[in-house]
Structure 1
Amino acid sequence: MLKLNITSETAPLKAVVLGTAVSNGPTPLLEDAYDPKSAEHIRAGTYPVEEDMVAEMEAVAAVLAKYDVKVYRPKLIEDYNQIFTRDIAFVIEDKFIKANILPDRDEEIEAINHVIEQMDPHKVITLPEEAHAEGGDVMPYKDYLFVGTYKGNDYKDFITARTNMAAVKALQELFPHRKVISFSLKKSNTEPRDNALHLDCCFQPVGKDKAIIYKGGFLIEEEYQWLVDLFGKENIFEITRDEMYHMNSNIFSISENVVISEKGFMRLNKWLREQGIKVEEVPYAEISKQEGLLRCSTLPLIRE
């Protein structure tokens, strides 16, 4: 039986589901793109190819193995994008919460049934149908649960709006002892530099008490300021619009002292090392073209 436990972003990682880029399928048609960044690369003819993405994900698997993390992989679905496991489900405390995601992606959760079957069925939760949430928008921190959302009446017009207020409410009911704090994110279907697809595209706690943040990803300045005040300005690494576009806030913590980061994130990686955090660098620039990076492609199950 898998004893699920996730109470923070940075506690020592013991078990994780890492996505797969094998049989990722052909480059999608422009009208099938789920986000503006993928669309941009489809148009430019620079959409990532399977071979490169497989190599990038295997580099991550090798780092996880080095730290004795138990790694599960999805079963293979032919010609199907199964990279971003964080979208399909997430663990908070001892509960495995299935996301209500884009209907085209329902098969992805079935591909990890061999993992779900090892859990206590009472701990596997499906949110109410009207509650939409993806794991990239949900983060535990101390006694908080941070949730990225979009509150506008035009929610349904944004394929990039993935977590709604009904989900925020459902999460508060599931975790009454936590302070659930929601953040309105900036959305754009057309300009990836102005689109925070998920909360982890513009913010992430790292180390013991540090955070990476992009001010422009937040629709409401007071909400951004609240986070800055919580962590303290001296503990925050502010990223630029361009760094946000390249997914600098979407690294992945193996523990408070070790992160996996993209090798091209020079400024960020230098700062992390200055904070005493060991940076395991991997190539992940091709995968980032689909508006997701290291946190998006991992689904942690157990942290100490």
Structure 2
Amino acid sequence: MLALNIKNETSRLRAVVLGIAKSNGGIPKVADCYDPKSIQHVLAGTYPEESAMIVEMEAVAVILKKYDVQVFRPNIIENYNQIFSRDIAFVIQDKFVKANILPDRDQEIEAIHSVISKINPANIIKLPEECHVEGGDVMPWNEYIFVGTYSGEDYAEYITARTNVAAVQAITALFPERIVKSFELRKHNTIATENALHLDCCFQPIGRDKAILHKNGFLVEKEYEWLLNYFGKDNVFEIDKEEMFSMNSNIFSISEEVIISEKKFTRLNTWLRGNGFIVEEVAYAEIAKQEGLLRCSTMPLVRD
């Protein structure tokens, strides 16, 4: 059995589900895209090729295994995008919470049955149907659970709005001993630089007391300022609109000291090393064209 344990984003990683790019399904039609960045690349003829994405993901698998992390992969569904394993479920403490994601993607959870079968059934939670949530919006951080959401009355009009208030309330009820703090995210269906698809597209805690942050990803300035004050300005790496678009906040922590990052994030990677982090660089720019990066394609199961 898998003894699930996730209390934060950065404790030493022991087991993870890494998505898979094989049999990805080719270039989607614009009408079938879930985010503005994918649409942009489909229209420009620059949508990533499967072969390039396979190489990028396997490089991450090599690094995870280098650090003795147990790596699980989904079973391959023919012609189906299974890269972003973070979306389909998330672990908090010893609970495995199935996400209610876009209906077109519901096969993805079935493809990790081999993982789910190793979990105590009492610890597997399916939220009520009215709760919309994806793992990219959910961040356990010690006594807190940070959740990205959108509560506007026009929620249904945004395909980019992935976690609703009902889900925030359900998570609050599930983990009464934690402080659930939600953040309103800026949503846009067609302009990627104005869209925070998930909380991890504009924010991520790193190390013990630091964070990456993008102000414009937050609809409510005082919520952004709360994070800035909580971590402290000297501990925050602020990214600009282009760095947000390139997914600079979507790196992935193997431990409090070791981070996997995109090799083109030169400003960020220099700052990380200057703050004592070990940075394992990979090429991930092709996968980033789908508005997701390293955190999006990993689902941590066990951390120390």
Same fold (TM over 0.5): yes
Distance in 1 (CA, whole Å) between partners of 2:26 and 2:212 is 34
Task: Report how far residue 26 of structure 1 moved.
Answer: 1.4
Give runs of aligned pairs for residues 257-296 of structure 1, distance below 5 A: 257-296=257-296
Distance in 2 (CA, whole Å) between partners of 1:154 and 1:87 is 22
Give runs of aligned pairs for residues 1-304 of structure 1, distance below 5 A: 1-304=1-304
One-letter identity of the residue aligned with 1:194: E
Distance in 2 (CA, whole Å) between partners of 1:208 and 1:120 is 30
Residues 204-233 of structure 1, C-alpha deviations (whole Å, 9 max, x = no match): 000110000000000000000000010000
Distance in 1 (CA, whole Å) between partners of 2:18 and 2:249 is 18
Query: Post-superposition, which runs of at least 4 consecutive aligned residues in structure 1 deviate over 4 A?
Result: none
Residues 163-193 of structure 1, C-alpha deviations (whole Å, 9 max, x = no match): 0000000000000011100000000000000
One-letter identity of the residue aligned with 1:289: K
Distance in 1 (CA, whole Å) between partners of 2:25 and 2:138 is 28
Distance in 1 (CA, whole Å) between partners of 2:23 and 2:32 is 18
Distance in 1 (CA, whole Å) between partners of 2:275 and 2:112 is 36
Residues 218-249 of structure 1, C-alpha deviations (whole Å, 9 max, x = no match): 00000000000100000000000000000000
Distance in 2 (CA, whole Å) between partners of 1:68 and 1:179 is 32
SS at match of 2:57: helix
One-letter identity of the residue aligned with 2:201: C
One-letter identity of the residue aligned with 2:211: A
Distance in 1 (CA, whole Å) between partners of 2:200 and 2:161 is 13
Stretches of structure 1 lacking an aligned partner (at least 5 in a row): none
Task: Report how far residue 263 of structure 1 moved.
Answer: 0.3
Distance in 1 (CA, whole Å) between partners of 2:155 and 2:275 is 38
Distance in 2 (CA, whole Å) between partners of 1:40 and 1:286 is 13
TM-score where L is the length of structure 1: 1.00
Distance in 1 (CA, whole Å) between partners of 2:44 and 2:249 is 25
SS at match of 2:237: strand
Residues 261-303 of structure 1, C-alpha deviations (whole Å, 9 max, x = no match): 0000000000000110000000000000000000000000000
Report percent identity of matched pairs: 66
Distance in 2 (CA, whole Å) between partners of 1:205 and 1:90 is 17
Distance in 1 (CA, whole Å) between partners of 2:168 and 2:30 is 31
One-letter identity of the residue aligned with 1:269: N
Stretches of structure 2 lacking an aligned partner (at least 5 in a row): none
One-letter identity of the residue aligned with 1:69: V
Task: Report how far residue 22 of structure 1 moved.
Answer: 0.3
Distance in 1 (CA, whole Å) between partners of 2:82 and 2:142 is 30
Q: How many correspondences in the alignment?
A: 304
Distance in 2 (CA, whole Å) between partners of 1:206 and 1:275 is 11
SS at match of 2:63: helix
Residues 29-70 of structure 1, C-alpha deviations (whole Å, 9 max, x = no match): 011110000000000000000000000000000000100000
Distance in 2 (CA, whole Å) between partners of 1:11 and 1:26 is 36
Distance in 2 (CA, whole Å) between partners of 1:161 and 1:204 is 19
SS at match of 2:43: helix
One-letter identity of the residue aligned with 1:131: C
SS at match of 2:160: coil
Distance in 2 (CA, whole Å) between partners of 1:26 and 1:68 is 33
SS at match of 1:200: helix
SS at match of 1:114: helix
SS at match of 1:244: helix
One-letter identity of the residue aligned with 1:273: R
Task: Report how far residue 142 of structure 1 moved.
Answer: 1.8
SS at match of 1:132: coil
One-letter identity of the residue aligned with 1:96: F
